[in-house]
Structure 1
Amino acid sequence: MTRPADIYLRFLQLAEAVRGLPSLPALDPLEQRILECVGRAGLAKAQLSVRDLIHHAELGSPSTLHARLKSMREKGWIQLSDTEDTRRKQVELTQAALRHFARLSDCVVRAARRDG
């Protein structure tokens, strides 16, 4: 019999292996939080603009956020799309980022299966 924490710990082990794959450049912890925020908005089918992200105080100052968004675009994790208002940009995950989340999802499933 395994401890309930073992599933999560196996997931972390599998996820670390996925993060080591040569798909996209690594993210720093703040970029990872931004990516997860963008992913959650996409899951909720909500449009998320740069201005919306600025309102998340936990993501840092506007200049920090802009620098991270630029870095994440250059690394291939996010893309900015035009909206009806040309001054606003919508933040979206790239196909490569979606594939990354799919691989992490597989890790969750694999970790849970080993428990049963």
Structure 2
Amino acid sequence: MNIDTKNTIRPAEIYLKFLQLAEGLNKLPSLPPLDPLEERILQQVARSNQELARLSVRDVMAIEHLGSPATIHTRLKSMRGKGWIVLSDTEDSRRKQVGLSQAALLHFDRLSACIMEAVKA
């Protein structure tokens, strides 16, 4: 890595190192890959989980910038089949809560480790 005259690493170099490390994760056997829309949905679910907010299938389908409800429903079904998300029962049997699977949490743990490694490098 290039070091400037103050012996500090530029933030762009940290980010590029993170991308390199994260790309290596994709080569490890894990969950099937997500398409770009599924990635955005996963990020939304992860943020809601982090904020301890309950997110139902209906809530996700109502997020307009993600696409039409039918498209979002199809992607949620795909993500569940790929093992990225889980659907849990709520007090209303007609509503399902969307959450991250254990495998998805492990994936985020690995990405976090990549960030830490990039900062150390």
TM-score (norm 1): 0.95
* Displacement of 1:12: 0.7
Q: Name 1:5's counterpart in structure 2.
A: 12
Runs of 5+ unmatched residues, structure 1: none
Q: Name 1:99's counterpart in structure 2.
A: 106
One-letter amino acid matched to 1:56? I
CA distance in 2, matches of 1:13, 1:55: 35
Q: Name 2:6's counterpart in structure 1.
A: none
CA distance in 2, matches of 1:31, 1:21: 20
Q: Name 1:46's counterpart in structure 2.
A: 53
Question: What is the count of residue pairs matched by the alignment?
Answer: 114
CA distance in 1, matches of 2:26, 2:66: 22
One-letter amino acid matched to 2:107? H
Residue 18 (1) aligns with residue 21 (2): no
Structure with the greater relative contact order (CA < 8 A, sep ≥ 6): 1 or 2? Answer: 1
Q: 1:86 aligns with which of 51, 74, 93?
A: 93
CA distance in 1, matches of 2:19, 2:76: 26
TM-score (norm 2): 0.91
Once the two structures are overlaid, the 10-residue window that deviates more, 92-101 or 13-22, is 13-22
Larger Rg: 2
CA distance in 2, matches of 1:53, 1:104: 24
- Match runs of 1:63-74 below 5 Å: 63-74=70-81
Q: Secondary structure at the match of 1:81?
A: strand
Q: Name 1:61's counterpart in structure 2.
A: 68
Q: Secondary structure at the match of 1:80?
A: strand
Runs of 4+ more than 2 Å apart = none
Alpha-carbon deviations, 1:19-75, whole Å to 9, x = none?
A: 221110000011011111101111111110011112211111000001000100110
